[in-house]
Structure 1
Amino acid sequence: SFIKAKSNVAPEDIHALVELGFGIFHASQNKFVVQIKWGGLLIRLFKKHVERLSLDVQWRPLYETLIQTHFKRNMGPEGWKVRQQHFETITGLVRASRTFFPEGAAAEIWLEFRPLLENPWHNSAFEGVGFVRLFLPANPRNQDHFTTDWIAQCLHIWDSVTNCNFWDIQWAAIIARCIKNSRSIEWEKFLPLLFTRYLNMFEVPISSGNGSYPFPVEVPRNTRFLFSSKTRSPSKAIAKSVVYLLKPKSLALEQFEKLINFLEQFYHPSNGGRWTYSLERFLRYLVFYFERRLQHEQFDTMDEKNEQFCLGKEERAVFIKVVLKLLDRGQYSKDDSLAETVSIATSILSYVEPSLVLPFVATNFQLALETTTATHQLKNAVTSVAFSGRALLLSSLCSTQSGDSSMIDTLYDLIVTSLSNALLGMDANDPPKTVATMQLIGSIFSNLATVGVSDDVPAFLQTSSLSDWLDEFFCRLFSVLQNLESSSAIAEGYQTSIMPGTFLVEDSPHYFCMLEIALGKLSKTLFNQSLKKIAKFVNANILPGATSEVGLLCCACVHSYPEEASVYLVKPILMTIMSSFEGTPTTGYVGREVPNNMSTKVRSKPVNICCLSSYIHYTPAALYAHAGYTFSCSRNSIGLLSEGFGYIHQLCGSCLSEL
């Protein structure tokens, strides 16, 4: 209840529970299950109530538990899975508790582990730096420990071991933590050394080299396991350091631009390799920490001392211009993760500086439309527009209020062009482009009010324009559904009516979400126009390869306007189901070949039953409006379990749940 409570819980009650939890945790030595449960509970409490708690957590009992359990050869009866879960719990508890380490804890921890770092070529040095990274707090109580001389000492120790990825990751994380929390340190003198280190850690190739360390230093397997990083590269720590080094009139922006100018070429689609993962992580965390820092500076209360470190409009613009170089190179990457990260980064940055990012999106989308040799670029360009849909409409509204006509025209042109030209990407033979198109349509419509109600709106949202666009959209959609084939081989005879879903429903949720959003945003006039076309298509076509897709199309109609769907869609479906039962045996039918004169009726049942059950679920009144037909369909369906038990179970369940 303390974790799931929606209301505010008294801090003294949380404090008492935390004290109790730590008491049980420390009293349960060698009882892994108890420590796992209470350790996990404390972690969740700290994550939710960290800002409301004021307590002291001693670091040494946690350290002694960790040493006794995982750094001594006293293997107990527990299996390795339990021990691994225990290790993850106790290390997670240490990370969550660092905020509450008392004053002087940082100095004690440094004195405890500093002797292990004396000989950098001994295995104890790797354990020492792992413990420093795990335990060293950078909370406000321990800021006196972090001085310029101490940072210089750490950088000297870091530089004592070269060509060791483990060593670099640990020290990069320690320095990043200090950069974020220690504003009193003058970092300018360390910038050249830090950025040189960061560039070297990416291990990108130079000339004919492969970029990896020629003679890497090996770390003991046990140490590498116990102090493993969730990321396989130091990208997260580097991005965190870069973002929090930025401040007004700082040389960090200049150093950052130099770093990006060198790494930019390795984001190009033709220059990928094993380094692509670390570069993708770097871009993702770069934008993530930039967004987090801006949120912190905007909503948190700051004193005059800290306000001088806040980023102004000029610093934000310079940062985004530099990052746009990476987005421009990586947008059409062959690596799906990098391409997706570019779209996410574009979306986030478009809220910060829309005047810089949205023209970039528009330009790239136009270039992707015009290209004839690299048609795969359109998919990535459409995805970027989809991720930036809300920012596009929000910026167009703000530009209208401010009277910026040039920006309004640019944004409206991008919306119109993307909606009209994206329909060309709906192709049953090109699943990625089709899914991206549906994602774009869902993104645009989800940020609109009900359309088609008034003509006092931009031209592309007026009833006449939307009417023409809807006609073209449904023509494209029906063509895709007619050409769909299930992912498995189509069987002959009776089983052709029970086909699994295609890429529209199996690979992503965008198909149904797009239909539900788009139809739900239409006025009744436009919806009725669309519903008539859908009803005509559903009643005139039997598509064994797209049973689920057609069923979801009908579900979206029912969910949007149940009454209208009852007239044009559901009642004809009921009549079709009833007619299909005429002359159909109800028992002894499993495994037999379907007669030719009955195959059409049999194939149409699953999709029709699916639509009917969904209609009852969304509109219980249908059970009474068409009670006779509905229960007759349910009764006759029970004998045809081999024809798709799931659909029949759904229909019967919908009927019974509404009684």
Structure 2
Amino acid sequence: MKEDVSEKLGFVPQKDIVYNKLLPYADILDEESNDLLGKIKGNLGRAVQLREIWPGVLFWTRKLSTYMRLYGRKFSKEDHVLFIQLLYELITIDKLEISMMQGLARLLINLLKKRELLSREDLELPWRPLYELQDRILYSKTEHLGLNWFPNSVENVLKTLVRSCRPYFPESATQEMLEEWRPLLCPFDVTMQRAIGYFELFLPTTLPPELHHKGFKLWFDELLSLWVAVQNLPGWEVHLVNLFARLANDNIGYIDWDPYIPKIFTRILRSLNLPVGTSQMLVPRYLTNAYDVGHVVLWVSALLGGPSKQAQAQLSGLFNSITSFFHPSNHGRWLMKLMKLLQRLPASVVRRLHRERYRKPTWLTPVPDSHKMTEADITAFVESMMQPVLLAMFSKTGSLDAAQALQNLALMRPELVIPPVLEKTYPAMETLTEPHQLTATLSCMIGVARSLVSGGQRFPEGPTHMLPLLMRALPGVDPNDFSKCMITFQFIATFATLVPLVDCSSAVHERSDLTEVEREMCSASAEFEDFVLQFMDRYEYINYGRFQVFITIGNWHFWSPIIAD
């Protein structure tokens, strides 16, 4: 199929939008895209030769951005590399207008987004022009005097641009960066913050294993010993943690973290800033310098697995020590960070499992077999998180974080996650005096719905719970309690979307190859009609008011007017 496309286009496209083939005029898209791409290349090159930044370059780079939105990266690898190199040169023009630089930078970020399309052999970008651009704008000596003005968005754009270009820095870049910024490393000077910020942003960590002696091995011991030595949580320590987290994630299995794992988890626990002791006082500066939760979970998920299992033991100890803080009666400034940790850590582990088991191999360094997460590692991780997650279901901040955590944990081990949630859900559906318990458990059941109805080898009895749950949820369609009514509609709509509500009870007599669970499900499906009729009765009951809620059940479509106030 690729050969046919390349014969039509004259090149092998990098990555086009596959859905364009479903359009009614798909047969003329190749000719149309080729014509537009030829105009863009010709006119953009002409504008650069004539040094016509405005309107020439600006107009045709916007045309290239529109082309990518319409057709994806439907150009050859050679054109892809040339577009990137051209835009890189344009961005680093001295004294280029900031608005133009931002527009070109966003287009370049879009071109570099799919890292698997271009390897280090295909593309190399110098780091120093980006450093000089960053230094000139973010550390301007004239902006505070009012002589220059930079928009607030320019910092994020520049940092994203550096992160996109970082995998393609040359082999010698690490040594050159160390020579440039090592003189600024003084813990008692303000230059320390600047130097560590540059190290975090620019140091490449995706070099292949044979080039590690030119990469992180030049600075790893030095910066890690600095992190261990400093105990008062300065502002630059956050940047160091972000750098170590990225390094660990990009080089799983190639760095021995075991000597530092106890120290890592101790620092993570301290950065949570939990109220402990008799006075329960919080130091204000710790609140601003606390570690970023996104990088903490990246670091922890990269440490899991491996022969030693030390990281999992430390993680279990960490959650044992902070479980009581998730109790619904507890509340404070620190609770939001705990809930973020609880929600993001399972998601990060799921991403790692996808990377190890399902993602197509690319030029990026794969995880060695010796350090891939085993089934025992996954089970231990899920077990260590279940107690705090079940407590967090009824948190005062809401159940959304716990529901997202349960969703990712159920993808890994449904037999460990779903039964405790069901044990809390069934009693909550029977009581009328605790509406918060009902809304919280229904929210979590929505999160694990896909793992529940899919069944599978690990939790084959899951689908048998669907109909009892739907029948028990019907009393929740109550216009007098808007939040309960809305979560009930969402609950019913989720299950009705995942499972077709069809009466297949006759299959029990017609098929002889059904399993016990399948026979039970077929027999129970006769009650689907009763469920729909009961729902319609309640729909008639609440058929007034101003606010409309749309829900689909099987082939039945309802507009349910609800009174919100």
Category of TM-score, reference length = shorter chain: 0.7 to 0.9
- Which residue type is aligned with residue 315 of structure 1? D
Rounded Cα–Cα distance in structure 1 between residues aligned with 2:460 and 2:369: 34
Are the equivalent residues in 1 in contact too, given 2:205–2:216 (CA < 8 A)? no
The correspondence of residues 300-319 of structure 1 with structure 2, limited to 5 A, is 300-301=360-361, 306-319=368-381
Structure 2 residue aligned with 1:289: 348
**For residues 155-234 of structure 1, what are the structure 2 equivalents within 5 Å?**
155-164=224-233, 166-182=235-251, 183-210=253-280, 212-213=282-283, 233-234=291-292
Distance 2:110 2:147 in 1: 25
Q: Tell me the CA shift for residue 96 of structure 1.
A: 1.0
Instruction: Assess if the C-alpha contact under 8 Å between 1:110 and 1:136 holds in 2.
Output: no
Q: Work out which of the residue numbers 143, 156, 160 in structure 2 matches 1:88.
A: 156
> Are 2:504 and 2:526, in contact at CA under 8 Å, matched by a contact in 1?
no
Aligned to 1:349: 409
1:457-502: CA deviation from partner (whole Å, max 9, x where unpaired): 75577564122212221222332334x4xxxxxxxxxxxxxxxx43
Q: Distance in 2 between matches of 1:49 and 1:179?
A: 19
CA distance, structure 2, for counterparts of residue 57 and residue 348 of structure 1: 38
Partner of 1:441: 492
1:154 and 2:223 are equivalent in the alignment = yes
Match of 1:137 among 194, 204, 225: 204
1:41 and 2:111 correspond: no
Q: CA RMSD in A?
A: 3.1
- Tell me the equivalent position of 1:270: 329
Structure 1 residues 264 and 168, CA, compared in 2 at 3 Å: closer, same or farther? farther
Q: What is the aligned partner in structure 1 of residue 298 from structure 2?
A: 240
Q: How does 1:463-474 map to 2 (within 5 A)?
A: 464-474=526-536
- Supply the distance in 2 between the matched residues of 1:7 and 1:65 (Cα, whole angstroms): 28
Cα distance in 2, alignment partners of residues 39 and 58 from structure 1 = 15
Per-residue Cα deviation, 1:352-382 (whole angstroms, up to 9, x for no partner): 2122122122122124335666431111111
- 1:12 maps to what in 2? 78
- 2: CA distance between counterparts of 1:353 and 1:345? 12
Q: Distance in 2 between matches of 1:256 and 1:15?
A: 43
8 Å contact 2:463–2:521 — kept in the other structure? Answer: no
**Separation (CA, whole Å) in 1 of partners of 2:134 and 2:217:** 31
2:446 to 365, 370, 386: 386
Q: Which amino acid aligns with 2:315?
A: F
**Counterpart contact for 1:107–1:145, Cα < 8 Å:** yes
Deviation at 1:155, TM superposition (A): 2.8
How far off is 1:158 after superposition? Answer: 2.2
Which residue type is aligned with residue 264 of structure 1? T
Q: C-alpha distance in 2, partners of 1:194/1:170?
A: 15
Change in 2 beyond 3 A, CA 1:417/1:110:
farther
For 1:389 and 1:215, how far apart are their aligned partners in 2? 42
1:117, distance to aligned residue in structure 2 (A) = 1.9
Aligned to 1:13, the other structure's residue is in SS state: helix
How far apart are the structure 2 equivalents of 1:204 and 1:69?
A: 38
Residue type at the aligned position of 2:105:
G
**Paired residue for 1:589?**
none
> Which of 125, 135, 138 is 1:70 aligned to?
138
Distance 1:360 1:107, change over 3 A: farther
Determine the C-alpha separation between the residues in 1 that align with 2:199 and 2:487: 46
Residue in structure 1 matching 2:392, options 316, 330, 335 = 330
Is residue 428–residue 481 contact of structure 1 (8 Å, CA) maintained in 2?
Answer: no
- Classify the secondary structure of the residue corresponding to 2:235: helix
Q: CA deviation at 1:207?
A: 2.4
Task: Give unmatched runs, 5+ long, in structure 2.
Answer: 1-66, 508-518
Question: What is the identity, as a one-letter code, of the residue corresponding to 2:436?
Answer: H
Q: Decide which structure has greater helix share.
A: 1
Structure 1 position 260 matched with structure 2 position 327 = no
8 Å CA contact 1:3, 1:45 repeated in 2: no
Name the residue aligned to 1:431. Answer: 482
* Paired residues of 1:28 and 1:35 also in contact (CA < 8 A): no
Which residue pairs with 1:475 in the alignment? 537
Change (3 A) 1:213 1:167: farther
Q: Secondary structure at the residue paired with 2:503?
A: coil
Structure 1: 5+ residue stretches without partners: 220-231, 485-500, 506-510, 549-659
Change (3 A) 1:437 1:328: same
Q: Summarize the Cα distance change of 1:69–1:271 in structure 2 as closer, same or farther, 3 Å threshold.
A: same
1:254 Cα offset (Å): 0.3
- Measure, in 2, the Cα distance between the counterparts of 1:133 and 1:168: 11
Distance 2:98 2:346 in 1: 39
Cα distance change, pair 419–78 in 1 and its aligned pair in 2 (3 A): farther
Q: TM-score under structure 2 normalisation? A: 0.77
What residue identity is the alignment partner of 2:239? Answer: Q
CA distance in 2, matches of 1:12, 1:461: 61
Checking the alignment, whether the CA contact within 8 Å between 1:269 and 1:333 is kept in structure 2 is yes
Cα offsets for 1:199-231 (capped at 9, x unmatched): 111101112344533665999xxxxxxxxxxxx
Which amino acid in the other structure matches residue 258 of structure 1? G
Indicate if the aligned counterparts of 1:39 and 1:93 stay in contact, CA closer than 8 A: yes
Structure 1 counterpart of 2:344, one-letter code: Y
- Rounded to whole Å, the distance in 1 between the matches of 2:533 and 2:75 is 55
Bigger radius of gyration among the two: 1
Quote the Cα distance in structure 1 between the aligned partners of 2:313 and 2:423.
Answer: 27
Partner SS, residue 420 of structure 1 = helix
Aligned length: 478
For residues 52 and 240 of structure 1, what CA distance do their matches in structure 2 show? 24
Q: CA 1:147 to 1:36, structure 2 compared with 1: closer, same or farther past 3 Å?
A: closer
Amino acid at match of 2:157: T
Return the letter of the residue paired with 2:396.
K
The 5 A counterparts of 1:456-605 are: 456=507, 458-459=520-521, 464-482=526-544, 484=545, 501-502=546-547, 505=548, 511-512=549-550, 515=551, 517-518=552-553, 521-522=554-555
Moved more, 374-383 or 472-481: 472-481
Q: CA deviation at 1:444?
A: 0.7
Displacement after TM superposition at 1:194 (Å): 0.9
- Specify the alignment match of 1:122 in structure 2: 189
TM-score, scaled relative to structure 1: 0.67
Measured in 2, the distance between the counterparts of 1:305 and 1:138 equals 14
Contact 1:268 1:333 in 2 (8 A): yes
* Displacement of 1:26: 1.3
Distance 1:442 1:379 in 2: 15
Between 1-10 and 26-35, the greater mean CA deviation after superposition: 1-10
> Which is worse superposed, 210-219 or 315-324?
210-219
CA distance in 1 between partners of 2:146 and 2:214 (Å): 42
Q: Take 1:111 and 1:59, find their aligned partners in 2: how far apart are those partners?
A: 14
* Distance in structure 1 (CA, Å) of the matches to 2:85 and 2:215: 29
Relative distance call for 1:238 and 1:91 in structure 2 (3 A) is same
Q: Is the contact made by 2:464 and 2:521 (CA closer than 8 Å) also made in structure 1?
A: no
